[in-house]
Each structure stands twice: as structure tokens, then as C-alpha cells.
Amino acid sequence: MVGPNIAVFASGTGSNFEVIAEADLDCRIALLVCDKPQAPVIQKAYKLGIETLVLDPKQFLTKAAYEEKILFELKERQVSWVFLAGYMRLIGGTLLHAYPKRIINIHPSLLPDFPGKDSIKQAFDKKVNTTGVTVHYVDQGMDTGPVIAQRSLEVNPDETLESLTIRIHEIEHALYPEVIRMLLEHEDRLEV
């Protein structure tokens, strides 16, 4: 059975995008949306044969106009879920209204700790003993929506920022496809 069409939004490297694309999920990535014309994720999508929409938000007069263009392209492709994978931009009312409880984000910390950018470094510099990964529903705030799943790790005494970054990404790459699978499986029972 072919499941729903989904879209992935990304701004950077695209390792989470790649993992979602290669995971055995009952869905199809109908579109990658990218706001950074030079982002490596674009090349990854090309190699995977996934259609890409690259838009520079600065080319639009308002955030609403930018999101209306994205929304049009999502509707054209009957996209029913949006998964953020390193999309470093707040989602506005246009998309949130169109996709209630259907825009999901992954974040490399145990939210509400260390929202925003450079979260792995923030946690490392703070010398926390435990950190991890959060998958959550997206709302208007920065990494603030209701949590769906979290997975933690203990920071080793000899941990470096590099080793911690690798370990966090390993967790992300396992957790995000699991959560996406769970959401798609229970789609018919979700309340909006």
C-alpha cells in the first residue's frame, strides 16, 4: 500500500532528510522544501530523485506570501504531513492553519532545554550529564510545541563536542523514522 504524500523542509546538510527518504516508511516524499539555495540537502534530494522547491524567503514581501507559495505547492501534490529536518525558520500561521498537528520537528536536545540554534554545543558547554533528542508538534514558537517523543543519552566524561554531535545524530536518525512510522500508522485516530 502506498501511504500519504509527505513533505520535508530542510535548510542544511540533510542527514535527517536522507534517513527519512531511505527508511522503510509507508509514505512518499512528494517534495523537499529548502530555504537556502546553497544547502547540501538539495544535492541529496537530486540524487534520490526527490522533487525540490528552493525558495529564498527574502524574495517575498511577507512571511505569509512566502508560506502561501509553499502551501500552494504542497496542495498541488496532496501533501498531508510536513516534517521539519533542520529547517531553521519559524513556521507561520499560514502553514500552521493549513496543517493542524501535522507539522512535526526534530530537535537535538531534551526540550524545553536548549531550544534554537547550536543546541548540541549549548548542552556541551553547559556540561550537562544528560542530553538527547526531541520530536514534537510545531507551533508558532521556537522549538516549543507539544512533545511526541524524547530519547536521552548520558554524556561521557571524555566526551568531545564532535563525539556528542555524532551520538546525537545517531539518535535522531533512529528516532525520527520511528516516530514518523508511528504517526502514519495512527493517522486515522489522530484528533485535529
85 or 91: CB nearest ligand GAR: 85
**Would you say 31 and 77 are in contact if contact means Cβ atoms under 8 Å apart?**
yes
Hey, which residues between 30 and 69 contact ligand GAR (CB under 6 A)? none
Burial of 144 (C-beta count, 10 Å sphere; 0-12/13-18/19+):
middle
Burial of 141 (C-beta count, 10 Å sphere; 0-12/13-18/19+):
exposed
Residue of 143, 164, 180, 183 interacting with ligand GAR (CB under 6 A): 143
Hey, which residues between 99 and 118 contact ligand GAR (CB under 6 A)? 106-108
**Could you confirm whether 169 is annotated as catalytic?**
no
The CA-based angle 68-102-45, given to 5 degrees, is: 70
Residue of 44, 86, 132, 183 interacting with ligand GAR (CB under 6 A): 86
Q: Is 78 left (phi over 0), alpha (psi -120 to 50) or beta?
A: left
Active-site residue, selected from the candidate residues 107, 169, 173, 186: 107
Question: In the bound complex, which residue of the shown chain has the CB atom lying closest to ligand GAR?
Answer: 86
Residue of 13, 80, 122, 144 interacting with ligand GAR (CB under 6 A): 13
Separation of alpha carbons 102 and 181, rounded Å: 13
Task: Name the one residue in this structure whose C-alpha cell is 522503510.
Answer: 24
Indicate whether 177 belongs to the interface with ligand GAR (CB under 6 A).
no
In the complex, the smallest distance separating the C-beta of residue 49 from ligand GAR, rounded to whole angstroms, is: 19
Indicate whether 80 belongs to the interface with ligand GAR (CB under 6 A).
no
Separation of alpha carbons 79 and 190, rounded Å: 17
Task: Name the one residue in this structure whose C-alpha cell is 513556521.
Answer: 91
In the complex, the smallest distance separating the C-beta of residue 12 from ligand GAR, rounded to whole angstroms, is: 4
Q: Which residues bind ligand GAR (CB under 6 A)?
A: 10, 12-17, 85-86, 106-108, 119, 143, 172
Catalytic residues: 107
